[in-house]
Amino acid sequence: MAEFVQCVYRSLVLGGMMINLESLTVRDIKELVSSRDRLLPEEIDLLKRDSRVSVRRLAASWERMQSAEQQEAAQRRRLYRFRRVLYSHGFEYIAGVDEVGRGPLAGPVVAAAVILPKGLPSFGMDDSKRLSESQRNELYDRIKQEAVAVGIGIAHPQEIDILNIHNASLMAMQRALSALQQAPDFCLVDGRFPVPSLACPQRTIVKGDGRCDAIAAASIIAKVTRDRLLEELDNLYPIYGFAANKGYPTFQHLQALKEHGPSPVHRYSYTPVRLAGENAAVTRGEKNSDCTG
């Protein structure tokens, strides 16, 4: 009786066909499962019980892949929940907005606003800081292709020096929202501070780039846009290594500041830049000159 049950189990239906795995080679099994979009749990379990190591590895690979797909789908549903609630209250064009570049010593702060199509996104997103450069670039292209609207806002170093980084960041967000081809009727803002003078209601979400898909999309657009701007600035001011450090205070960047002084795209209100400017002026014998940029 036990042998009969084992025989039936080894001939479990796989892909709609009654198949005896023992009659198939490993190559046959790989070709069979490769034609499937997914395997049922009992089908994976059948493969895991095979005596051949290659078949068991195949089962483990499918199990990991399908588990990752389930986790990604759950993540998409989790990030969609803010928009889902707003859609249920009659809002149609929900923008997410985020900025990048508060900490660097050089270059602009860049904000992006994104209105995604209604419904669960067809691809997964995450906070841009948790993604690799290749992942960000791939998602950047997909967002640009599928979004209802994308807007970019920039606050330049001189504006940061005049307004301070907090106010300049809010201004960049405001500019990004104004640049949208479709006016939003609700805005989801990353962080604690609302964007001033918006014509539509808004909600701030702390760490929103990891909690809301529209904000995550905005963070990716803003990050990729700023990185590419810094790569262009690297061509103009190669001694600072902007292509590699993106304006952040790495050791090499600070050494270049010390040796050469700041460039026109540095933020002179930031202490390391201000001190480098003062030291450069002293070296040139310009003690009384204006070193504020």
Mean pLDDT of residues grouped by 10 in the chain (293 residues)? 37 54 82 82 85 88 81 84 96 98 98 95 79 92 96 98 98 98 97 95 96 96 98 97 97 95 97 90 55 45
Position 265 scores a pLDDT of 98
Residue 142 CB neighbour total at 10 angstroms: 16
Position 8 scores a pLDDT of 36
Domain count, the chain: 3
Is 188 found in the same domain as 93?
yes
On the 0-12 / 13-18 / 19+ scale of CB atoms within 10 A, 1 is exposed
Query: What is the value of pTM for the model shown?
Result: 0.78
User: What is the Cα–Cα distance from 26 to 153, expressed in whole angstroms?
Assistant: 56
Looking at 187, 206, 228, the residue that finishes a domain is: 228
Position 289 scores a pLDDT of 47
Please report whether residue 290 resides in a domain.
no
Please give the residue range of the domain that contains residue 10.
Answer: 2-79
Position 261 scores a pLDDT of 95
From the list 154, 56, 55, 171, the residue with the least C-alpha distance to 107 is 154
Count CA within 13 A, CB hemisphere, residue 230.
Answer: 27
User: What is the Cα–Cα distance from 192 to 135, expressed in whole angstroms?
Assistant: 27
Is 172 found in the same domain as 274?
no
Is 154 found in the same domain as 117?
yes
Is 176 found in the same domain as 58?
no
Is 102 found in the same domain as 188?
yes
Is 203 found in the same domain as 104?
yes
Position 34 scores a pLDDT of 82
Is 209 found in the same domain as 186?
yes
Please report whether residue 293 resides in a domain.
no
Is 66 found in the same domain as 117?
no
Position 283 scores a pLDDT of 63
From the list 102, 110, 103, the residue with the least C-alpha distance to 232 is 110
From the list 63, 164, 36, the residue with the least C-alpha distance to 109 is 164
Kindly state the greatest CA–CA separation across the chain: 100
Is 87 found in the same domain as 73?
no
Is 70 found in the same domain as 126?
no
Is 221 found in the same domain as 100?
yes
Is 107 found in the same domain as 182?
yes
